Each structure stands twice: as C-alpha cells, then as structure tokens.
Structure 1
Amino acid sequence: MNRPVMNHQHLRTLVRLTFGNAASLIYLGVVAATAVFVTVDTLFVAHEDASFAGVWLFFLAAPTVFLFFVGGSLWGAESGGPAWFFYLALVVSVLLQSLALGWFVRLVRGTTGRGRTARPQGA
C-alpha cells in the first residue's frame, strides 16, 4: 500500500508546532521586530561605517542558517552566494527553529499531537 509522504494531518501538525504555541510565536515576533529594526537602520540611518544591525538576525537564526551556508558552499556557491539564497536560508532557518521550539514545548508538556497526555506503556 502506497501512503503519501505528507498528508493533511502531518501538515497541520507541522503548522501547529511552528505557529501554534507561545514559545514559537514569541520567537517569531522577536525575529520580525529585529527584521524591522534592521530594515529601518539600513534604509533610514546614515552611518560613517557599515552597520552591524544585520548581525542580530544571524544570531537569531543561528545555528541552522550557518548549516545552509556551509551546504551552499559545498555545492559550489561563491563566497556570498546569490541574494535569494541568503534570504531563503534566513527564512527557512527561522521557520525550522520555530518548529523545533514547538516540538520542544510539546515534549516538555508531555502531550501527543491530539492533546492527550503521553503515558508509558502499561501505566
């Protein structure tokens, strides 16, 4: 019997883990606020030297963003890569970390995907 790799229930669970808990939403809010700060600093603030405001986005997306950059360099991307790869790696890294936070919250709470408390076998 062939089962689809990703069915509707699996997708719903991934979305719930990524966006449906307080820890993930706080993390995504901090990332969004930092992105707004970096954008305003880049567009509207004059600096004599380069601004390091963008480094905060990397701190928030670390360590997964660096895995994307290492993977891109192994595939032969030049030393900075194209801009679309830079932004895509940043967005995917943040979403992966939000998913990991949601999974960790579910693990700590001890609940399964259906809201029931997980119990050991035979208990």
Structure 2
Amino acid sequence: MRASRLRTFVQLTFANPASLLYLGLVLVAAFPLLYESLTGASGFGGIWLLLATAPTSMGLMVLFWDVDSDLGAPLFLLALALAALLHSFALGLAHRWVQDHLPRRANTLAS
C-alpha cells in the first residue's frame, strides 16, 4: 500500500506536463543563484527563485526567520525546494482533476 502511495506522489509531482513545466521554470530561476554562488558575485539571484515559489516559500521562510546565521542559507534553500515540490504536487493534482472532469472529444472525422 505504501509503495502505491509513493508512486502516486511521484507521478503527481513529476510525471505530468503541468508539473514538469513548473519545475523547469524553477530550474531556470535557480540559474542566477547558482551563478552567484559559483562566482562569488553578489546580487539578487535568490529573488527569482523566491518569486517562482511564492507564496509558499515566503510562508516557510517565516518559520525559519529566527535561526542562527550558520543555518540561514541552507534553511532558505530547503524552504525554496519544499515550496517548489509542494507547488508541483498541487499542479499535478489540478492536472489530474482537469483530465478526469473534462469531457473527451469524440474523434468525428467525416469520411
């Protein structure tokens, strides 16, 4: 029973067009942050990722707001990753609901 729940979670989070498109957007939004961390440049790279995962990431950041400075950056990234996965799962649920509730078009080609 647990294996089927895990498989359903993975399918809803990663194996549908809406979730894949969203996760691709999050990946593209992560490039400025990755560039800044690799080059040592300072900028607003994290803002794009924060906006791509808002408002959930902002809500999770409130939970991690009052932490030690050594844990600030890893918890920030954890909040962004959890928010992205939660949004992807919600998009997967919405995609499944639309697929189940929209009527199928009949293939009516006149010969």
Q: Using structure 1 for the length normalisation, give the TM-score.
A: 0.69
Distance, in Å, in 1 between the alignment partners of 2:50 and 2:70 is 14
Match of 1:96 among 68, 71, 86: 86
Distance 1:84 1:41, change over 3 A: closer
- Equivalent pairs, count: 102
Runs of 4+ displaced beyond 4 Å: 78-81
Q: Give the superposed CA RMSD.
A: 2.6
1:72-98 residue CA offsets vs partner (Å, 9 max, x unmatched) = 34xx53589522211111111101100
Tell me the CA shift for residue 45 of structure 1. 8.1
2:38 to 37, 43, 46: 43
Gap change, CA 1:53 and 1:22, over 3 Å in 2: same
The alpha carbon displacement at 1:99 in A equals 0.4
CA distance in 1, matches of 2:47, 2:74: 18
Selected match of 2:67 from 55, 62, 77: 77
**1:60 pairs with 52, 55, 70, which one?**
52
Partners of 1:58 and 1:10 lie apart in 2 by: 29
Distance 2:48 2:88 in 1: 17
After TM superposition, the structure 1 stretch with the greater mean CA deviation from structure 2, 91-100 or 63-72, is 63-72
Tell me what 1:25 maps to. Answer: 20
Task: Measure, in 1, the Cα distance between the counterparts of 2:90 and 2:26.
Answer: 15
Q: Quote the sequence identity (%).
A: 40
Q: Are 2:107 and 1:107 aligned?
A: no
Q: Which runs of 5+ in 2 are unaligned?
A: 105-111
Unaligned runs of at least 5 residues, structure 1: 1-5, 112-116, 118-123
Aligned residues of 2:12 and 2:89 also touching (Cα < 8 A): yes
Q: TM-score, normalised by structure 2?
A: 0.76
